[in-house]
Structures are given as C-alpha cells and as structure tokens.
Structure 1
Amino acid sequence: MATDPKIPPQTQDTMPGRESEMTPAPDWKPRFPGVGKMKDKIVLITGGDSGIGRATAALFAREGAKIAIAYRSETGDAQDTKKIVEDEGSECLTLEGDLGNRTHADDVVKKVVDHYGQLDTLVINHAQQYLDSPIDEKLSDEMLDDMISSNIKSYFYVMQAALPHLEEGASVVITNSVNAFQGNDSLIGYSTTRGASLAFMRSMASALTAKGIRVNGVAPGPIWTPFIPGTMPADMVEDFGSSTPMGRCGQPWEVATAFLFLAGPDGSYFSGQTLHPNGGMIVGA
C-alpha cells in the first residue's frame, strides 16, 4: 500500500540532488518476496544511486540480478544503494563519472563486463532537469548544454558502448517523463530532451527487436526523488504531486515495478512501448 507522507518545503543546491538530505526519505523498498525474475542477470543502471534508480536496483537484486550502478558524483547515495543491494544478497559495482563523456561511458560498460563477464539488461535512467520559466530569462547556454549532454548525447554513448555485449534475449529500459507526452511550461528544455529520448527509445526498438533485444520506456509523473528538491524552490516542493488525480506524488518503488515488468520475462511481448506510472494523468501513448 502506498503511503502519502506530507512533504515540507525544502530545496537543495545541486542537480541531481542528494537522497540522504530529503524529508521524508523516498520510499524505495520492494514490497514482495522475489521469485527469481532476474535470476543470474547482470544489470547496469545509470543514475542508480538514488530515486528511481535505487528502487530499481533494490527490486532487481531481490529478483536475483547482480547490479552495477553508474552515477555522476553522489558517492554517499551510491554507497547507500550498494549496501541495499548487498542486503538483498546480491552484488553491486559502483561507477562514478559523467556519462556525457563518451570515453567514460565506454569505460563504465567495459568495467561492468570485465567484472561480471556479461551484460544482460541496460537501464538508462540518469538525467538533468532545470526550471526554465520564463524561457528567455532562465534557459542559459550552460543549462541547455548540460541537459542535452546528459539526457540525449549520453544515451547514445551508453547504448553504443553496451550494444556489442547485448545478446539475443537482452533488454533495455529507458526512463522518460510524462513531460515528453504533455509538455511542461516550467520545464521546456527538459521536456524537449525527453521528447528526444522517447524518439530514441522507439528508434532503438525498431533497430533491435528483430535481433531479439527488447527496448522499452517508463514515463513517470511526479515522483519523490532527488530531482525535485534539486530542481525546485522550497515553496514549489511543498505538497509536491498533490495536483495529480490521485492527489499525491508517487514513490520510487511504485516506478521500479514497471522497470521489472519490462526488463523481465513478464514483458516478453513488449518492445517500443512506454508504461506510465503517473498518478492517473491521461496522456497519449
């Protein structure tokens, strides 16, 4: 059962933010015993240190996967996630750095394959987000370049690095956003990059499905992750998500289940598709 904790005003001075500083703490914990849906799978989760990435790492570990997480610089959060995965009886490799650098993206995938001997599932989950309303005042070159590098270019780099290691039966799941489908006048640059990542997911599915590699996406609505205090002023964070039809924000564990469905055997007839954990917002598929 999902909880609906009251979210007080708060903000952070970094993007992405730090889960360890959020009040209340995001709820990442899996709800049910594992049944081996990811048994013996090697999974790389980018942006795996916190938020949706952390919840997905915990759930996949419970289902039998060994995990590698790539993250930008939030080492404390990454170490917390590593312990969470290990407490599930699995193993977690942590890899720090900017995936917008092609050399680093190549190195991350190489380290995963060198360490585990294979790569079965790729979850591309990292991103950058900035408020940019009004756009003529707030969307600086630095902000735009950061989002394009993180949300578009790095997706190509990670996918290109991973492809030689993904065999028939492999799966890729890409995090998107409700904003790719309905837009957002306060997140114009971010929404634009999410439109690009949606097209990227669908194009990669067209390219790879015939090879036995499924590519799908998850487009969350308002989820309580470090993105939120890392992006918004304190007054906008208060009661975050209350405008959804369900009247609350989602928790990371509620999104991780969509990743498990698409990556695992239950999603075997899905490719090029998007799941929408967004609290009841109706959007085009």
Structure 2
Amino acid sequence: MTTPQPLPLSAESQGLAPGRGRLDGRKILVIGGGQRVFDVATDPVGNGRAMCLLYAREGAAVAVADVNLASAEDTLRLIQAEGGKGCAIATDVQQESQVIAMFETARAQMGGLDGVVFNVGTFCALGMDISLEEWNRLIAINQTGAMLCGREAIKRMDAGGSLVLTSSVAGFKFGSQMIAYDTTKASLMGLLRFFAGAGSIRHIRTNMVVPGLVDTPNGRSAGAGRESRGTGDILPFKRQCTAWEIAYASLFFMSNESVYVTAQYLAVDSGITGL
C-alpha cells in the first residue's frame, strides 16, 4: 500500500506567486497584521502578515494594525520593499477609544476604507480550570475586540466594502483543549451573521475564514509539546496549512470575486471539519 504523501506546496502556498491585480485601488485595514515571535531564527510568516503582503501585491494600500507597533512596522517595511504602500498603527482592540482612533487614522492615511480584516486571537491554558482573570482576558481580546472592530468597520467602511473575520476550527469542533479559546472563536459565528445583516443596506459583506492547523509562530506556540500537530500526520493532506494559504482564502472574500457572498465561512483545514 502506498504511503500517503503530504500535499505539495504550490507557488501560492509559499507566497511566491505574483500578484494579479485582484485588489487594484483598494484600501484595506488588517487588524493583527504583525505577528508574534516563537523562534526568531525559524519562524514562518504568520496569517496577518501574509494577508498584508498578499493584498499589497494584488494592488491594495494596506493599513497594518497591531498591538505591537514594532511588528506592524516590520510588516509595513516588507510591503514597501516590494513597492507597496500603507501605514502602521498601534492598536489594543480591548480599548474602544483605540479602535475608533485606528479606523480614523486608516481612513485619513489611505483616503478611504473599503476592506477590513479582524485577525486577532490569543490562546489560554489547556483544560477548563483556568482563572477567571484569564477567561476575561480572552473574552476581551478575541470576542469583545471582534465586536468593537466589526462595529466600527460596518459604520466607517465605504459602501460595497468587505469585512473578513478570522476564526478557527476550534470554534466548530472539540480538539484545542482550551475552553476560553474554543468559546470565543465559536462566538464569531454570531458576529458574522449580525454584521452581514447590519452591513447589507450599504452592500457591505461580512465573511469568515476558518483556519485549521496552520504553521505560524502562533501555531507553533500553541502546539509546543504536542508533537502530533507539527508532523501533520493527523491531517487528511498530511501537512499543516501555510499562512499564505489562509491569506489566499481571505483574498477571495476581500476581492470582487465574492461580491454576492455574505454571511458565509470557508474552512481552510484539509477537510477536518467535514470528514
């Protein structure tokens, strides 16, 4: 019997494909466009940074927002090195005043705003015996942060814009073993439906990308000590997803190719939510 082989990496999987003008003239804010550091020597690109770079390659101006301004500025430098344009903004999504200021700055810097990505999420300890403080911290970042950012996006985006939320398969099925993370990611389904409905009067669509196991600094941190995650053997395609593959899924929702699609989610997970 032939041993299953990992899904080959395409040019898109590796972030090597050229842009095709799918976002020409667009003005997009990526919230969570920096990335954490797990091992500076070996870290792959993260989801948010891959989105920023891909959108810029496709012709968009990109406002990179992150709680870590230095990391957002690193992303911006990579965009500029490829001839793209944008700005970097420091934002703590737990703070309503900072979220409002972020949108005002993005609009002012780019001369408008017709795309927003909420790509923020943090982890908690395994099991259900976490402290109330840690529970409230994840609620504030993963759930309340998404509400604040989505609310401002619907209010402040140009008509016909696109809001994309980043969730996780942990919000759909048991497996992460992190009670607060699972709960907050599941809550994004409610926000997805609400924002899609609220934005429809101005033809603003809201959709959601649902990553499975992704090889990012964040993913490596969450999987530390869990060898099965890193090997990919548990996955139908026998390898983890790359951040570029997540970015391309979000690109579909951000581009006019999805102009008649709203209130939908796309699982980028090798099939683990469906098989």
Match of 1:270 in 2: 261
Amino acid across the alignment from 1:239: G
Between the aligned partners of 1:236 and 1:196, the Cα distance in structure 2 is 29
With 78-87 and 101-110 compared, the bigger mean Cα shift is at: 78-87
- Asked whether 1:64 is paired with 2:59, we answer yes
**Within 5 Å, which residues of 2 pair with 1:102-141?**
102-133=96-127, 135-136=128-129, 139-141=130-132
- TM-score, reference length from structure 2: 0.86
Q: In the superposition, relative to structure 1, how do residues 232 and 32 fare at CA in structure 2: closer, same or farther (>3 Å)?
A: closer
Q: Is the 1:176–1:220 contact (alpha carbons within 8 Å) kept by the matching residues of 2?
A: yes
Match of 1:239, SS state, is: helix
Q: Is the 2:69–2:89 contact (alpha carbons within 8 Å) kept by the matching residues of 1?
A: no
Q: 1:236 Cα deviation (Å)?
A: 4.2
Q: In the alignment, which of 21, 27, 31 is matched to residue 42 of structure 1? A: 27
- TM-score, reference length from structure 1: 0.83
Q: In the superposition, relative to structure 1, how do residues 108 and 180 fare at CA in structure 2: closer, same or farther (>3 Å)?
A: same
Amino acid across the alignment from 1:47: G
Q: Is the 2:192–2:207 contact (alpha carbons within 8 Å) kept by the matching residues of 1?
A: yes
Match of 2:39 in 1: none
Between the aligned partners of 1:180 and 1:261, the Cα distance in structure 2 is 22
Match of 1:33 in 2: 18
Amino acid across the alignment from 2:27: I
Between the aligned partners of 1:128 and 1:61, the Cα distance in structure 2 is 25
Match of 1:114, SS state, is: helix
**Consecutive unaligned residues in structure 2, runs of 5 or more:** 1-6, 36-45
Match of 1:168 in 2: 159
Q: In the superposition, relative to structure 1, how do residues 272 and 156 fare at CA in structure 2: closer, same or farther (>3 Å)?
A: same
Match of 1:205 in 2: 196
Q: Deviations over 1:138-187 (max 9, x none)?
A: x1122211110111111121122233321221000100111111133512
Q: In the superposition, relative to structure 1, how do residues 237 and 164 fare at CA in structure 2: closer, same or farther (>3 Å)?
A: same
Q: Is the 1:182–1:283 contact (alpha carbons within 8 Å) kept by the matching residues of 2?
A: no
Q: In the alignment, which of 141, 144, 148 is matched to residue 150 of structure 1? A: 141
Q: Deviations over 1:225-259 (max 9, x none)?
A: 12223334345487254311111111100110111
Aligned length: 258
Greater relative CO (CA pairs within 8 A, separation 6+): 1
Match of 1:219, SS state, is: strand
4+ residue runs over 6 A deviation: none
With 273-282 and 79-88 compared, the bigger mean Cα shift is at: 79-88
**Within 5 Å, which residues of 2 pair with 1:196-235?**
196-235=187-226
Q: Is the 2:267–2:273 contact (alpha carbons within 8 Å) kept by the matching residues of 1?
A: no
Q: 1:30 Cα deviation (Å)?
A: 2.8
Q: 1:210 Cα deviation (Å)?
A: 3.5
**Consecutive unaligned residues in structure 1, runs of 5 or more:** 5-26
Q: Deviations over 1:111-160 (max 9, x none)?
A: 11121121110001111112322x12xx1122211110111111121122
What is the root-mean-square deviation of aligned Cα atoms in Å? Answer: 2.2
Match of 2:239, SS state, is: coil
Q: 1:28 Cα deviation (Å)?
A: 7.8
**Within 5 Å, which residues of 2 pair with 1:83-94?**
83-94=77-88
Match of 2:83, SS state, is: coil
Match of 1:191 in 2: 182
Between the aligned partners of 2:94 and 2:223, the Cα distance in structure 1 is 23
Q: In the superposition, relative to structure 1, how do residues 251 and 2 fare at CA in structure 2: closer, same or farther (>3 Å)?
A: farther
Amino acid across the alignment from 2:83: G
Q: In the alignment, which of 218, 235, 239 is matched to residue 244 of structure 1? A: 235
Match of 1:11 in 2: none
With 213-222 and 236-245 compared, the bigger mean Cα shift is at: 236-245
With 223-232 and 265-274 compared, the bigger mean Cα shift is at: 223-232
Q: Deviations over 1:239-281 (max 9, x none)?
A: 2543111111111001101110011011112100011110221
Amino acid across the alignment from 1:169: G
Between the aligned partners of 1:142 and 1:100, the Cα distance in structure 2 is 14
Amino acid across the alignment from 1:208: G
Identical-residue share of aligned pairs (%): 27
